[in-house]
């Protein structure tokens, strides 16, 4: 049986399997729904810090600003984030947020 948008393989009410996101220096959030964004950002930032990244770029788009607000709220709550700001124009401008990360104790040296 195929997966529905409302749930996992068994339909509404079931949990879809987790999606593996590659941990790189940028994450495009366009494929994610707004109700998924905060958790995705929190997990991604934690994993990026654990891998030793000092900076990541989160591409949320320019639109109405819903994803941008969710991203920034998640970054503000994260113990792994030192600071964040709009990306420079050549890296997405206000359609992307760049976060400077605190090195995780588990990060490779």
23-101: CATH topology is Ribosomal Protein S8; Chain: A, domain 1 (3.30.1370)
At 41 the pLDDT is 97
The residue count of the chain comes to 109
The per-residue pLDDT for range 13-44, each reduced to its tens digit, is: 777 677 777 899 999 999 999 999 999 999 99
Domain ranges of the chain: 23-101
The per-residue pLDDT for range 55-105, each reduced to its tens digit, is: 999 999 998 999 999 999 999 999 999 999 999 999 999 999 999 999 767
At 102 the pLDDT is 93
Give the SS3 label for residue 109: coil
Q: How far apart are the first and last CA of the chain?
A: 46
pTM, full prediction:
0.79
């Amino acid at each position: 049986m195929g997966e529905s948008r409302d749930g996992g393989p068994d339909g509404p009410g079931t949990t879809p399997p987790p999606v593996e996101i590659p941990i790189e220096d940028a994450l495009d959030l366009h494929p994610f729904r707004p109700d998924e964004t905060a958790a995705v950002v929190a997990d991604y930032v934690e994993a990026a810090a654990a891998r030793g990244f000092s900076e990541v770029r989160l591409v949320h788009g320019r639109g109405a600003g819903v994803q941008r607000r969710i991203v920034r709220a998640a970054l503000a709550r994260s113990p792994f984030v030192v600071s964040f700001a709009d990306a420079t124009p050549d890296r997405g401008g206000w359609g992307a947020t760049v976060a400077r990360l605190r090195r995780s104790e588990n990060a490779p040296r």
